[in-house]
Structures are given as structure tokens and as C-alpha cells.
Amino acid sequence: MAEKEQKLPDLDKPLEKPLSDLANTIAGSSEPIGVKGSTVSTKEMVIAFGALLAAAVVFVVIKNYVSKMLVSSYRKSPRSAEMAGWGLFCILLLAVVTAVLGILDSQRFFSFLFLIPIGLAMLAAMVMFVMALVSRR
């Protein structure tokens, strides 16, 4: 394959095309630069899983504290207090999952394919949390 001679634009003249078109023309592809080689390494995935695991442990401790506080201070039934605690746990854990996915690869994981199920699960957990807090029992 023969090498094509490429000329960079002059700095004094304004660009006719946007920079993204110029970068695509220079690279010789129709994809934006940076998307083509974007992969998540195994090391990054292990670190992300460890962070999720550590957050889950911290959130279980928070869940137990909130449940016991609701029973003792607010006179909620143990059943609704546990339900509120698990709802809070799910809300917090799903928020951390979303943050970790965004840190790993935001271009791939911040699409509707990932955000809609996480958002619906978070909404269900929030409804469960609020219902448990306002229950009379």
C-alpha cells in the first residue's frame, strides 16, 4: 500500500471543516478517534469489582444501623424497618454501580442499554424505601 502524503493545515488560516472531521480524515476512518481502541482491561475490572465489594460491605453496615435506628427511635415494626434498610442498600449500591460503570468506560456504559435497567431498579428500590418509611406498622 502506497503512503499518501498528508498536509497539515496552516495555523494562520481558519479551518473550513470542524476538527473532528479533520481528525477523521487524517486517521482515514469514519469513527471518532479514541473509540476504536477503547477497551477495559482485566486489571481495571478487578479493581472495580473490589470497589463494589467494599461499598457493599459498608452499605450492609449502614443498612443494619438504619434498620435498628428505625425500630428503636421511630417505633417502626422490625419488618418495615428491614424493608426500608434493604431499599436504602439497593439505592446506594445501584448508585455506586452506575458510578463505577461510568469510570470504567463512559462511552460504552453510559448508554440507554445500561442506564434504563439500573434506573428502573433504583426507582423500584426508592418506592420500596418510601413505602416502608410511611407504613403505619
pLDDT tens digit string along 67-101? Answer: 999 999 999 999 999 999 999 999 999 999 999 99
The total number of residues shown for the chain amounts to: 137
- For the chain, the domains span 60-134
Task: Pick the more confident residue, 123 or 31.
Answer: 123
Q: How far is CA 135 from the centre of its chain?
A: 31
**pLDDT score, position 6:** 78
Mean per-residue pLDDT over the chain, rounded:
85
Per-residue DSSP letter, 111: S
Is the pTM higher than 0.95?
no
Look at the block and give the residue holding cell 463494589.
Answer: 52
First to last CA, the chain: 77
